Structure 1
Amino acid sequence: MDASCLKYALTDEERRQFNEQGYLIIENALSPEQVTELTTEFDRIYEDKLAEGHDSRTALFYPNFIPDADAFQNLVDYEKVLPKVWGLLGWNIYLYHAHMIATPPNGKPKDNGTFGWHQDSGRVNVEMESHPRPRLSLKVAYFLSDVSEPDRGNFWIVPGSHLNDNLQMPADRQGQPEGAIPVCVKPGTAVFFDRRLWHAGTPNWSELTRKVLFYGYGYRWIRTKDDMTVQHLWERSDPIRRQLLGAGVNCNGHYSPTDADVPLRVWLKEHQPELVR
């Protein structure tokens, strides 16, 4: 990894924003050329799924897309993003979850129904004995389509709600929780969010198809949430990318890692020693 990536290191203001609000927006994280390349690969997969019988009127949730294109793999350790990820989570991390979502126009009249609000990680939110619940992981969402206006299938959030174990919903299931806002961003934007942040996907009432890539980073002792069939990529990846794709020496190395398990720690000892403990 080139040390030039450190110019994108997490700033004190970005840390404060993420810790207090549960999310962070990085505009122009992707260049127009990257957006074009990624969109081409995204569209290829989407068209294949439609040809296989996916209903064009419903959202496509497609996990384990990383092996499908070099452009997707290059975001695993992307220089403008990974330094902020390790700045928030530390060095004992990997990509435990990845999925792409295409949300086409739903062709229905807009309504005021309450969205499907949730925190990520399923049973973790029931079985962890702590308050607030532990962070454990975060996601980076790369937006390829223009969702700079509402009603385009926007991702909705309640800022600051990552520290709340419950979220009060409207009693009549009409409208959204207090403080809820749509995330309105342009193509090329990366949105980081804490897995505990209460959020919701929404209907797409526009004429545009919403296209997003989600990269989920968590601690290496967390099991993958998808099949993550990336092992064949290890041989042609550099050491840090191999770590992020789940490689390691043995199972114990997920809990008591050696330098061979976590080359990111070795690299940080040289370049950002204040982050190594």
Structure 2
Amino acid sequence: MLHPIVSAGEFTDLDRFIFESWGYFVIPNVLSKEEIQQCLDASIRIHEAAGTLGFGQVGRGYETEPAIERLMDHPAVLPKIRGLLGDRFIVQSGWNTKQPARGGMGGWHQDGSGAYDFKKLGYPIPLIQLRASFLLTDQEEPGMGNMEFIPGSHRSSAPLPDSVRAAKSGTPISHVLCATAGSVLVFHNAIWHRTYEHNRDYDRYTMHYIYSPPWVKPSDRFHNDVDFMQRTTPLRRALMGDFTRPDAPFGANYAPPPFEGN
């Protein structure tokens, strides 16, 4: 099956073309087996602490789990984020999701805000939430809790028919993305997508980091945890929005995060 695969690290012109054409791409083999296990163990602890029953999504796991925190600025992924958003952006949220064993099909949707539909901002829908999803369990074949996309739908001026959404049926061009644990999916908020069915007898875990322009409000927190901010790195503090605003509201530039090499 055709997959929009890119190499880790440097953001290339081909990466941009693939992303603009498809609305997403895959970076394979980002995490080692040891890192996958550490993140998987951390994910289980996060959901146990939250009391997740069935499908669940828990934010702010980076505050208590170092293995999850390290994904925030992973060197295989962060250059892609910078290439697509520039040097001034924040981590809007970090969500750890669990799809339970034998979990059913999710519903088709675009990412965005329930308070204000991103479609109101213009056509094509602008890139406001850029998601990097770290796969922590294998999704090598359909039926393993995969992500299912409709390629190029972030550019469509026609909405996905209500009949398709209500019935949770497929489309002739939907793409069930198959990848191994440790791979990362990077995708546009406007791409139509859903969680595919999970027919295995173990829970599926994914860690999502969502990057946004600096003026977008965080969606997994009302404020940053003081202890976390004191002990994390300068770059991660900046990504969490800890920067001095020289003018309000964003009338002038602020110093970009201390990326390596700047």
- Residue correspondences, number: 250
Alignment of 1:47-196 (within 5 A): 47-49=48-50, 52=51, 54-55=52-53, 58-106=54-102, 115-122=106-113, 123-125=115-117, 128-165=120-157, 166-170=159-163, 173=167, 175-196=169-190
d(CA) in 1 for partners of 2:224 and 2:76?
22
Provide, for residues 138-176 of structure 1, a one-character-per-residue CA deviation record: whole Å limited to 9, x for no partner: 100000101111112221110111112422354682621
Q: CA deviation at 1:137?
A: 2.2
Normalised TM-score (structure 2) = 0.86
Deviation at 1:178, TM superposition (A): 3.2
Distance 1:215 1:254, change over 3 A: farther
With over 3 angstroms needed to count, the CA separation of the structure-2 counterparts of 1:29 and 1:129, relative to structure 1, is same
Q: What does the per-residue CA deviation read over 1:196-248, in whole Å, with 9 as the maximum and x for residues that have no partner?
A: 11111233222231110000000000111111653422333333221101101
Please point out which of 221, 234, 242 is paired with 1:239. 234
Q: 1:74 to 1:156 in 2, by over 3 A?
A: same
The 3-state SS of whatever aligns with 1:263 is coil
Q: Give the TM-score of the pair, scaled to structure 1.
A: 0.81
Please tell me the residue identity of whatever aligns with 2:13: D
Given the superposition, is the C-alpha separation of residues 160 and 243 from structure 1 closer, same or farther in structure 2, using an over 3 Å criterion?
A: same
1:195 maps to amino acid: N
Structure 1 residues not aligned, in runs of 5+: 1-6, 272-277
* Kept after mapping to 2: 8 A contact 1:64/1:229: no
CA spacing shift, 1:174–1:130, aligned 2, 3 Å: closer
CA RMSD of aligned residues (A): 2.4
* Aligned residue identity for 1:245: M
Q: 1:207 maps to which residue?
A: 201
Q: Distance in 1 between matches of 2:176 and 2:99?
A: 15
Question: Contact (CA 8 Å) 2:130, 2:212: kept in 1 or not?
Answer: yes
C-alpha deviations, 1:83-122, integer Å up to 9, x for none?
Answer: 1100111011010011111111237xx7xx8x51111113
Q: Deviations over 1:21-58 (max 9, x none)?
A: 00010000111111111111112223334xx4x43xx1
Q: Which residue of 1 aligns with 2:32?
A: 31
Structure 2 runs not aligned, ≥5 long: 1-7
Match in the other structure for 1:20: 21
Give the structure with the larger helix fraction: 1
Q: State the structure with more CA Rg.
A: 1
The amino acid that maps onto 1:167 is L
Q: Counterparts of 2:63 and 2:120 in 1: how far apart (Å)?
A: 32
CA 1:221/1:126 → structure 2, altered by over 3 Å: closer, same or farther? closer
Distance 1:205 1:15, change over 3 A: same
| Contact 2:90/2:212 (<8 A) preserved | yes
- Does the C-alpha gap of structure 1 residues 174 and 87 become closer, same or farther in structure 2, counting only changes over 3 Å? closer
Q: Percent identity?
A: 25
- SS of residue matched to 2:232: coil
Q: Alpha-carbon deviation of 1:74?
A: 1.2
SS of residue matched to 1:200: strand
| Residue identity opposite 1:236 in structure 2 | R
SS class of match (1:105): coil
| Deviation larger for 229-238 or 138-147 | 229-238
